[in-house]
Structure 1
Amino acid sequence: MHARAVAASTTALLGTVALLLPTSPARAADGGGWPLVIAHRGASAYAPENTLAAVDKAAELGIRWVENDVQRTRDGELVVLHDDNLRRTTDVEEVFPDRAPWKVKDFTAAEIARLDAGSWFGPAYAGARVPTLEQFVNRVERHHQKLLLEIKNPELYPGIERQTLKVLSNEGWLDRSHLAGRLIVQSFSADTVRTVHELKPAVKTGFLGTPPVSDLPGYAGFADQINPSYGSLSTAYVASVQAFTGPHGRPLEVFTWTVDDAATAQRVAGYGVDGIITNKPDVVREAVDG
């Protein structure tokens, strides 16, 4: 009985703390008040994921944040693709039938550039290509958008953290204006998030997952965000995360994924999340705006 009373009091206290915290940096940078809406792999319900067309569609919908994934080719080029395998979203089996299992790391950038990354989604997108990281960030820049970049499968690509930061630097994404509110680097790997923070402390970082509350003090040393799947969330967990101060002296934020319907968007917004990652950014925006 006593334990339950203590737990209830703790939850209530954390909820109060969340209400008293200042508006999150992410919200403040975008005019604040409601969860940010982040286009997952671009507006991927309406255009082939992680392509320049998906970035363009997000811009057309008026979405300011775009999420993407980074892998590395055999010859060391960074390309924007979710899977470590080319089969699902390209015609690699037709172009290179004898190259199974068609892993990204087994193909050169020039070979991947030959692949059609749009026809699987629909004939209107036939001929879309797998973009390089440079091409992707330049398209995001063209639309004056903001980037949530995920380093994917870092265990397959030793040193990809440093290389990703180098590309971002070369393309102008590590200057003061971008670091102030236009770039977040995230990963499912805590080691990768920690490495990015150590290499470039000014970069805002996010850990993808739902670590126990007891582990949050450790994450707060190198991650500005804890970004869980929506099914693992509760008001108490969000408040617990936001009660910690991150490496840049601000409350930790929560971006949740992948929410594609209005009811779920309204529910997680009610939990107090700072951002919602979605394939249907127009649907989520309409659900949480107003």
Structure 2
Amino acid sequence: MHARAVAAITTALLGTAGLLLPGSAARAGDGDERPLVIGHRGASAYAPENTLASIDKAARLGIPWVENDVQRTKDGELVVIHDDSLQRTTDVEEVFPCRTSWEVKDYTAAEIARLDAGSWFGRQYAGARVPTLDAYMRRVEHNHQKLLLEIKNPELYPGIEQQTLKVLGNDGWLDPQHLTDRLVVQSFSADSLRIVHDLKPAVRTSFLGRPRVSALPAYARFTDGINPSFGSISTGYVAAVHALTGPHGKPLNVFTWTVNDADTARQVTRYGVDGIITNEPDVVRAALQAP
């Protein structure tokens, strides 16, 4: 570990904030201004989360980065949905009243395709569907957007990492341009990210959570970023992450979640984060652009 990393980690352990260099929030990365504004499950304050309508809304707001969640159906189709249960965001209980499970993994793709994933949010979204990952990727490409893709609950879906990479490859998202500038895979599971890194080392990855500072060098072997909740970070912690170099030869990034107000957006920007994940991307963007 080089001297800068040692110094930054020591500072973070002591709780000192002084190592963050001015302008670090605009560090060279993928060509975007820092911090990036990332639409959480699309523009999910304004349209039903993880639907095509939600990423279309983000596109209309001029938000290039969106985030989603990927799970797998009973018959092996990858779908974009956050909860492992279908109850909260679909009418599964009405469509299948005799079933005893509402878990995504217990329904086929055809069954999930019958569900209304929009009415819970507003009548104008009635008939919105849970998209397949393939359909979702085609819409992201059509919108010229960039994607922070979360592999959700990988412990429920053995082999989901390889399957996700296959879909991404089939949809043209594993070419150099997408890998450099438009795709990051994240997960709360370090094991899942190691699998992604081993299968396709060129894919950028980020770990969801806040590892101990002393553990960060181990994460830097297989991930390019650390994505903690906004309430768990400080200037010193962000500096400690930035001090380490990831598997693609660049300083680790920090994307923080879920920030939905201007004051918090400005606060985490002062910490030096590289990205802000938000349900209200227009609010966060306006806060960052204000003089």
Alpha-carbon deviation of 1:100? 2.4
Report what 2:123 is aligned to. 123
Q: In the alignment, is residue 219 of structure 1 matched against residue 219 of structure 2? A: yes
Counterparts of 2:214 and 2:278, CA distance in 1: 28
CA contact (8 A) 1:184 1:205 kept: yes
Report what 2:19 is aligned to. 16
Report what 1:262 is aligned to. 262
Q: Any idea what the Cα deviations from partners look like across 1:4-57, whole Å, max 9, x if unmatched? A: xx8589665x7436448695344x521x2x310000000000000000000100
Q: Any idea what the Cα deviations from partners look like across 1:142-186, whole Å, max 9, x if unmatched? A: 010100000000000000000000000000000011011100000
CA contact (8 A) 2:220 2:247 kept: yes
Once superposed, what is the RMSD of the aligned Cα atoms?
1.8
Cα 1:201–1:120, aligned 2, differ >3 Å: closer, same or farther? same
Counterparts of 2:124 and 2:187, CA distance in 1: 32
Counterparts of 1:222 and 1:180, CA distance in 2: 16
Alpha-carbon deviation of 1:99? 1.4
Cα 1:41–1:20, aligned 2, differ >3 Å: closer, same or farther? closer
Report what 1:41 is aligned to. 41
Q: In the alignment, is residue 203 of structure 1 matched against residue 206 of structure 2? A: no
Cα 1:136–1:7, aligned 2, differ >3 Å: closer, same or farther? closer
Report what 1:105 is aligned to. 105
User: What is the one-letter code of the residue matched to 1:120?
Assistant: W
CA contact (8 A) 1:42 1:58 kept: yes
User: What is the one-letter code of the residue matched to 1:108?
Assistant: T
Q: Any idea what the Cα deviations from partners look like across 1:58-90, whole Å, max 9, x if unmatched? A: 000000000000000000000000000000000
Unmatched 5+ residue regions in structure 1?
1-5
Counterparts of 2:276 and 2:23, CA distance in 1: 21
User: What is the one-letter code of the residue matched to 2:31?
Assistant: A
Report what 1:150 is aligned to. 150
Report what 1:3 is aligned to. none
Cα 1:165–1:139, aligned 2, differ >3 Å: closer, same or farther? same
In the TM superposition, 1:66-81 aligns within 5 A as 66-81=66-81
Counterparts of 1:160 and 1:189, CA distance in 2: 12
Counterparts of 2:21 and 2:177, CA distance in 1: 28
Cα 1:18–1:221, aligned 2, differ >3 Å: closer, same or farther? farther
Cα 1:283–1:171, aligned 2, differ >3 Å: closer, same or farther? same
Report what 2:253 is aligned to. 253
Counterparts of 1:29 and 1:171, CA distance in 2: 23
Counterparts of 1:8 and 1:183, CA distance in 2: 29
In the TM superposition, 1:52-201 aligns within 5 A as 52-201=52-201
Cα 1:264–1:8, aligned 2, differ >3 Å: closer, same or farther? closer
Report what 2:7 is aligned to. none
Report the TM-score, using the length of structure 1 for normalisation: 0.93
Report the secondary structure of 2:68's partner residue: strand
Give the share of equivalent positions with the same residue, in percent. 70
Counterparts of 2:100 and 2:181, CA distance in 1: 41
Cα 1:249–1:126, aligned 2, differ >3 Å: closer, same or farther? same
CA contact (8 A) 2:11 2:236 kept: no
User: What is the one-letter code of the residue matched to 1:173?
Assistant: W
CA contact (8 A) 1:24 1:251 kept: no
Report the secondary structure of 1:277's partner residue: strand
User: What is the one-letter code of the residue matched to 1:248?
Assistant: H
The ranges of structure 1 where at least 4 consecutive aligned residues each deviate by more than 6 angstroms after the TM superposition are none
User: What is the one-letter code of the residue matched to 1:218?
Assistant: A
Cα 1:7–1:41, aligned 2, differ >3 Å: closer, same or farther? closer
Counterparts of 2:72 and 2:13, CA distance in 1: 48
Cα 1:205–1:263, aligned 2, differ >3 Å: closer, same or farther? same
Unmatched 5+ residue regions in structure 2?
1-9
CA contact (8 A) 1:162 1:199 kept: yes
Alpha-carbon deviation of 1:235? 0.5
CA contact (8 A) 2:254 2:273 kept: yes
Counterparts of 1:275 and 1:20, CA distance in 2: 14
Report what 1:231 is aligned to. 231
